[in-house]
Amino acid sequence: MLFGGLTIEKIKKEQVSERRNELIADMLHEIHLIEKWGRGIKLILSKEPDADFKEVGRQFISIFKRKEVTPQVTPQVKLTEEFLEKAGLNERQRKAVEYLKEKGRITNEEYRILNNTHRVTAFRDLNDLTDKGIIEKIGKTGKYTYYKLKR
């Protein structure tokens, strides 16, 4: 339950808080498990303005309303021929985008095989696609690195 005379109305309008146990609160702050005092409700309401709260028995409950889910635009819809033309992709990169639409991911090695090209060329082409925001790199370096469509 809320402590120190706080009400749900007060915490929503004035965004105030009260510490129930000063000793525990101070200890949690010292070991960096609490960032700032009284920031929780304000943070919740800044991220979820429609959040609500209630007290049931001895419990304080936060309620987050379900958001309506909008259908995701698939890469196939956004990566139109017109978009690819304006992006100035070379033939190898266009092939890779088509491969990605079908397979969902590509490695440097797969790019080299697909385009019969050298590792440096594949690296340069994939970085260019990344810089243009068409693909994103997953993993830092090495054989476990791959690329996927971003748009």
- Determine the residue type at 8: I
Cα gap 113→32, rounded to integer Å: 50
- The residues spanned by each domain of the chain are 8-63, 75-149
Burial class (CB in 10 A: 0-12, 13-18, 19+), 118: exposed
pLDDT by 10s per residue, the chain, length 151? 777 777 888 877 777 777 777 888 888 878 877 766 667 777 788 888 888 888 888 888 888 887 765 444 444 546 677 777 778 889 999 999 999 989 999 999 999 999 999 999 999 999 999 988 899 999 877 778 899 998 6
CATH architecture of the domain covering 75-149? Orthogonal Bundle (1.10)
Q: Which two tokens stand for residue 33?
A: 């498990």
